[in-house]
Structures are given as C-alpha cells and as structure tokens.
A and B are shown apart, each in its own frame.
Chain A
Amino acid sequence: MQSPYKAIKVTEDVWWVGAIDWNIRDFHGYQTKRGSTYNAYLVMADKVTLIDTVKAPFREEMLARIADVIDPGRIDYIVSNHSEMDHSGCLPEVIAAVKPEKVFASQAGAKALREIFPSESLEIAAVRDGETLSLGNRSLVFMETRMLHWPDSMFAYLKEEELLFSQDAFGMHYASLERFDDQLDPAILEYEAATYYANIILPYSPLVLKLLEKVAAAKLSCKIVAPDHGPIWRKDIGGIVGRYGKWASQKPTAKAVVVYATMWHSTEKMARAVSEGLAAGGLHVKFMSMDEAHRSEVVYELLGAGALAVGSPTLNNNLLPHMADVLTYIKGLKPRNLVGAAFGSYGWSGEAVGQIEAILGEMKVELAGEGIRVKNVPDAGTLEKCYGLGITMAEQVKARL
C-alpha cells in the first residue's frame, strides 16, 4: 500500500518533507493551541540534500514523504540548521537509514549534536559563517544566527532559488495541511507568529535587530522563507520580516498588562482598581487572571506593552505558586521597556508584594511607585490608592511614548 504521506512541492527543486503534529499542546511550557509542524526540506540538486529532520516519533512520516520524491538512500547531504531535538531527534536513525556522504552543521551545532547523541559517534562537518557548499548545480550559503534561538542556530540560503531555510526564525506553531502563507488566514498567521516570537525569540531581540541589519547589508534577496515550524512564506515575506523588526525593537505602546492571582478576591479587587486607573490614564488594559490565563498568553500580550502590573496574595510567606510560575517565565523571556508595579493582599505576613518587586527589579522593570499591600480585604481608601497607582503608571508609560 502506498503511504498517505506525500511531499509538497515548494519550488522546482525543493520539496517539503516534514511532519504534522496536530495534537501537541505543550512545548516546554509554551501552550501550542494549534499544534505544530516539524519542517524538513529536500533539495533535489546534483547532490540531493535534506535540510533538517523532525522530532523522533515522526521519523517514518518524514521518510515516507521523502520516498514520495526519491529513494531516501539517494540523499547525499544532510544539513542540520538547528540541533534542538524537535529537528534532530531522529538524526542518528536517519543517518543510519540514508547513509549520506556528509552531514553538516555550524561549529556549535556539530558540538551540540555530539553532546545530544553521545553514544552515536556522529561524524559531522562543521561549516563556517558565510561558507558556500556546492550541491553541483545548486549552492547553499550558510549564515550563523547564534542564539536565534540556540547557540548552534544557522540559516542556509539556496542561492539559485533565492530560498532561505531559516530554521526556527519566522516560524510558528500551527499545524495545517496547507503549506504556504497565502493559503491561510493572515490574522491567525500574525497571531501565531507573534506568540512564537514572544515565547521563543524575545530574549534574543538585540540579536534579531543585528541579524536584520546583516541581512539587509548583504542585500539577500528572498523569494521564499522556509522555517522549521508552520507555513512557508512565499507571499508576505516583507510582512513577517518587518514584524520581526518591530517586535525586536520592543518599543512600548499605550498598553498595560495586569497579571494577578487571587485567593478570596481581595487581590482581584485591587487588580480591578489598578486597571481602572490605567485605563483612566489612557492605556489599553489587558486584564489577566492566572487562574484562567496561560503563561504563554501573558507573554504574547506583553509584546509591545508599556506596563506590567503584578498582583499576588501571600500564601505561607510566599507568592501564589502560579504567580511564581508566570513571573519566572516572563523573567527568562526578558521583555524590555516596561513600567511596573506590585500589589496584593495578605492575612498575616504579606511578603508577596516585596517578592514581586524584587523579581521586577531583576527584570529591569522600572517601578512606577511603591507596591500596595493590604491586610485581608481592601477598603475604599486602598482601592483609591490602587486606582492612583494605575494613573501614575499610565503617566510614566505615556512619557516614554
């Protein structure tokens, strides 16, 4: 019986041969509501080349799609642009099955792959930034993109086709049978690309800006951008590259995110009052209870926000655990240019507000004013102070716009 898994033609010589993961919902803490794809590409040049592989359980799907075009045993080269296991997890098995002449990765990638598969004694040729690999009638130019988003990450540019294999950059977690941006709803693409940026790329924004400068200086013309997750860009390349520039600049806008959790609705009342103040001060407010929202949604909302207000009651001398969770997550993603404040209720000791302020300090968030703590239940005076804190935050954000 023939396999239902077919290759999809990208250009005359390039085929998508990846895998679709419809049901994945948790990507190391990032909620992927629309599933994902692991993209691998087959370049049918004189030297048949496979660009990246897929997550280990999807090996057979990828090999079936390759077999739709060519006997996998005829692959000459494998290029690993990114060593993370969703793109390399089946690499040793694929090498064993295909027996390629050579496997290529960046210098850091070659080292990382040997560390990830210590028992495999993989032979991997390290390529340098700017190096060109001849595929006979085609050529691949490598560009290091260190820390976008792992130390090993690199781009591979198929010169004659003006096609950029961009690994995780410009990607998104979005499972679909359509493979190209022009076949899908642009609003969903923008939302999922932004969510991906916020959850994966955000901490490396200074490097994104440098990379965009480098690409512009190299006058690299791209007709197609083929990332390792989600659809291939062939229509709105300018749009996604422009959005990366915007997101990486992290310019604040008149938007505030209020994130809190509550035990008996006291901290929630404070969150409501802070939000009313922020709105009265002229900011758009995204109000997020961590009893409802997911951490990856919070960082999506923070992309381009100007203010972050955080509330938590004190539970046994500490933050509520799900507030510690979201703050740890946000801290690692390093959002910049935020004005912040902390608030929360307590029954007897009240450490949470100070703990939030300490974390916001580590995150380089500028505190708009002293945090507000209240014992048991906020009275009218406390809620007025919360409202006032919202106004002060809004004024400080507006002064930065």
Chain B
Amino acid sequence: MKRYVCGVCGYVYDPAEGDPDGGIKKGVPFNDLPEEWVCPVCGASKDEFSPE
C-alpha cells in the first residue's frame, strides 16, 4: 500500500502503521482515511498529502 507524505511538515502516513493516536488502525489505505483526518504532526488536512 502506498505511503503518503505531508507537504507541510514531512510526516509520512504509512498504511502498515496507521495512525494509532488519531484512531486509525493498521492497514487503512490513505484514500480510505476519513475526510476530516489531519496530519498527526502538524494538523494539515488530507489534501496537503501526496504519494511518496
């Protein structure tokens, strides 16, 4: 599954890891993240991310 990079702070969303602090379990592809999900480091919205 594709990893996505935050264009603001450089955080990488890795579906293999998910985002436990943000309530996202392992295995969730980036495109399936809820629209209101934000970068756990800087709070940027999904549209600031691009494929790694």
Q: Is the CB of A147 within 8 A of B43?
A: yes
Nearest-CB distance from A110 to chain B (Å)?
14
A207 and B41 in contact, given A147-B8, A147-B9 (Cβ under 8 angstroms)? no
Q: Is the CB of B44 within 8 A of A206?
A: yes
Interface centre among B42, B45, B48 (most CB of A within 10 A): B42
The complex places the Cα of A207 from the Cα of B42 at a distance, in Å, of 9
Interface size on A, residues (CB 8 A): 10
Please give, as numbers and ranges, the residues of chain B lying within 8 Å of A210 by CB-CB distance: 45
A151 sits at the interface (CB 8 A): yes
A144 sits at the interface (CB 8 A): yes
The complex places the Cα of A56 from the Cα of B10 at a distance, in Å, of 30
Please give, as numbers and ranges, the residues of chain A lying within 8 Å of B48 by CB-CB distance: 206
Closest to B6 in A: A147
Task: Give the residues from 116 to 158 in chain A that come closer than 8 angstroms, CB to CB, to chain B.
Answer: 144, 146-147, 151
Please give, as numbers and ranges, the residues of chain A lying within 8 Å of B43 by CB-CB distance: 144, 146-147, 207
Closest to A151 in B: B41
Contact flags (1/0) for A32-53 with B, using CB distance below 8 Å? 0000000000000000000000
Nearest-CB distance from B7 to chain A (Å)?
8
Closest to A147 in B: B42
Closest to B47 in A: A206
Q: Is the CB of A206 within 8 A of B9?
A: no
Task: Give the residues from 201 to 236 in chain A that come closer than 8 angstroms, CB to CB, to chain B.
Answer: 203-204, 206-207, 210
Please give, as numbers and ranges, the residues of chain B lying within 8 Å of A146 by CB-CB distance: 41-43
Q: Is the CB of A203 within 8 A of B8?
A: yes
Please give, as numbers and ranges, the residues of chain A lying within 8 Å of B44 by CB-CB distance: 147, 206-207
Task: Give the residues from 11 to 52 in chain B that come closer than 8 angstroms, CB to CB, to chain A.
Answer: 41-45, 48
Q: Is the CB of A151 within 8 A of B8?
A: no
Nearest-CB distance from B34 to chain A (Å)?
18
Please give, as numbers and ranges, the residues of chain B lying within 8 Å of A144 by CB-CB distance: 43
Nearest-CB distance from A109 to chain B (Å)?
13
Please give, as numbers and ranges, the residues of chain A lying within 8 Å of B8 by CB-CB distance: 147, 203-204, 206-207
Please give, as numbers and ranges, the residues of chain A lying within 8 Å of B42 by CB-CB distance: 146-147, 151, 204, 207
The complex places the Cα of A87 from the Cα of B2 at a distance, in Å, of 39
The complex places the Cα of A282 from the Cα of B45 at a distance, in Å, of 38
Nearest-CB distance from A84 to chain B (Å)?
15
Closest to A334 in B: B7
Interface centre among A151, A210, A334 (most CB of B within 10 A): A151
The complex places the Cα of A151 from the Cα of B45 at a distance, in Å, of 14
Interface centre among A144, A203, A206, A210 (most CB of B within 10 A): A206
Please give, as numbers and ranges, the residues of chain B lying within 8 Å of A206 by CB-CB distance: 7-8, 44, 48
Nearest-CB distance from A265 to chain B (Å)?
39
The complex places the Cα of A147 from the Cα of B39 at a distance, in Å, of 11
Nearest-CB distance from A172 to chain B (Å)?
23
Nearest-CB distance from A142 to chain B (Å)?
14
26 contacts between A and B (CB under 8 A): A144-B43, A146-B41, A146-B42, A146-B43, A147-B8, A147-B9, A147-B41, A147-B42, A147-B43, A147-B44, A151-B9, A151-B41, A151-B42, A203-B8, A204-B8, A204-B42, A206-B7, A206-B8, A206-B44, A206-B48, A207-B8, A207-B42, A207-B43, A207-B44, A210-B45, A334-B7
Ordered nearest first, which 7 A-B pairs have the shortest CB separation?
A147-B42, A146-B43, A146-B42, A151-B41, A147-B9, A147-B8, A151-B42
> Which residues in B have some Cβ–Cβ distance to A below 8 Å?
7-9, 41-45, 48
